[in-house]
C-alpha cells in the first residue's frame, strides 16, 4: 500500500457520508493545486445551512419496498434558518415544480457510472449514479438550475468500474432469510426513477418543509405537482 492510500472499513450506510466528504476534499485540493487547507469548521457551517432534498422513485413496481429510489440534496449557502423567508420558499418551490414535477415528472436514468459534482462554496456535493456521463451532466444541470447556477465542468468527476456488468450484475440474486428464498437488492441497477417530492430541511426544525409533492405523501405542501 502506498503512503497516500486510505483504507476504510464499515457498513455502506456508515461509510457513504465519509466517502462523500473525502471526495469533496480531494476535488477541492485538486482544483486549487493541493495548496488550500480545508478546516472542519467550514464543513460544520455547511452542514447547518438550509438543505433542499429531491426524492425520486421507480414507478410500475407493485411491491413498494422493492422500488429503486433516488435522492439528491444540496445546501443554500447564502441563507440561514433564521434568515430564509416564506416568500423565498414559495419561489424555490415554484421553480422545482416547473423543472421537476411538470410533464409527468422528471426522470433520472440511474446506472453504474458514478458522476460526482463538487462546489462547496455554492453548496453542492452531488454523487449521482447514472447510465452515462451525458445523463450525469443533464441531471446536474437540472439541479443547479433550481438556484440559477451554471455548471463548471472542472468540478465534475466520473468514476467507471472496469467491469460493471460483473461488479454490479443486473441478474437477480437470491438470499435465504428465515428459511425462505428472497430476491436480494441489486447494486447500481439500470433503472428509471421519477421525481416524487422535494423538501427543505432547516436547522432547528424537527420536521422538513414540503416544497413540492406529486406523490400525495404530504397533506400541506407549498406546491402540488
With cut-offs at 50, 70 and 90, classify the pLDDT of residue 24: low
Whether residue 65 has pLDDT greater than 90 = no
In a domain, 13, yes or no: no
Mean pLDDT of 13-39: 52
Whether residue 32 has pLDDT greater than 50 = no
**pLDDT over 90 percentage in the chain:** 60
In a domain, 215, yes or no: yes
Query: Rounded CA gap, 13 and 35, in Å?
Result: 31
In a domain, 21, yes or no: no
In a domain, 212, yes or no: yes
Find the largest Cα–Cα distance for the chain.
56
In a domain, 90, yes or no: yes
- Per mean pLDDT, which of 21-35, 53-67, 132-146 is the most reliable? 132-146
Q: What is the span of the domain harbouring residue 123?
A: 49-224
Whether residue 164 has pLDDT greater than 60 = yes
With cut-offs at 50, 70 and 90, classify the pLDDT of residue 11: low
Whether residue 147 has pLDDT greater than 90 = yes
In a domain, 151, yes or no: yes
b (16+ CB within 10 A) / e for 159-196? eeeeeeeeebeeeeeeeeeeeeeeeeeeebbbbbbbbb
Whether residue 173 has pLDDT greater than 90 = no
Q: What is the pLDDT of residue 183?
A: 72
The residues that bridge with 74 in the sheet, in sequence order, are 52
In a domain, 70, yes or no: yes
Average pLDDT in the chain: 84
Task: Indicate the number of domains in the chain.
Answer: 1
Query: Rounded CA gap, 165 and 171, in Å?
Result: 10
In a domain, 105, yes or no: yes
Amino acid at each position: 500500500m502506498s503512503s497516500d492510500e486510505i483504507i476504510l472499513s464499515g457498513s455502506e450506510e456508515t461509510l457513504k457520508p465519509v466517502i462523500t466528504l473525502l471526495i469533496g476534499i480531494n476535488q477541492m485540493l485538486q482544483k486549487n493545486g493541493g495548496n488550500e487547507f480545508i478546516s472542519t469548521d467550514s464543513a460544520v457551517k455547511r452542514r447547518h445551512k438550509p438543505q433542499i432534498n429531491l426524492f425520486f422513485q421507480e414507478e410500475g413496481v407493485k411491491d413498494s419496498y422493492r422500488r429503486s429510489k433516488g435522492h439528491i440534496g444540496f445546501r443554500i449557502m447564502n441563507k440561514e434558518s433564521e434568515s430564509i423567508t416564506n416568500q423565498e420558499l414559495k419561489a424555490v418551490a415554484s421553480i422545482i415544480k416547473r423543472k421537476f414535477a411538470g410533464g409527468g415528472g422528471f426522470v433520472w436514468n440511474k446506472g453504474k457510472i458514478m458522476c460526482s459534482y463538487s462546489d462547496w462554496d455554492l453548496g453542492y456535493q452531488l454523487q449521482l449514479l447514472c447510465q452515462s456521463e451525458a445523463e450525469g451532466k443533464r441531471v446536474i444541470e437540472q439541479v443547479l438550475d433550481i438556484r440559477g447556477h451554471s455548471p463548471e465542468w472542472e468540478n465534475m468527476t466520473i468514476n467507471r468500474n472496469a467491469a460493471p456488468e460483473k461488479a454490479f450484475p443486473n441478474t437477480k440474486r437470491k438470499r435465504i432469510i428465515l428459511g425462505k428464498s428472497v430476491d436480494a437488492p441489486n447494486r447500481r441497477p439500470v433503472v428509471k426513477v421519477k421525481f416524487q417530492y422535494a423538501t427543505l430541511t432547516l436547522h432547528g426544525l424537527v420536521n422538513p418543509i414540503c416544497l413540492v409533492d406529486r406523490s400525495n405523501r404530504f397533506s400541506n405542501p407549498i406546491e402540488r405537482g
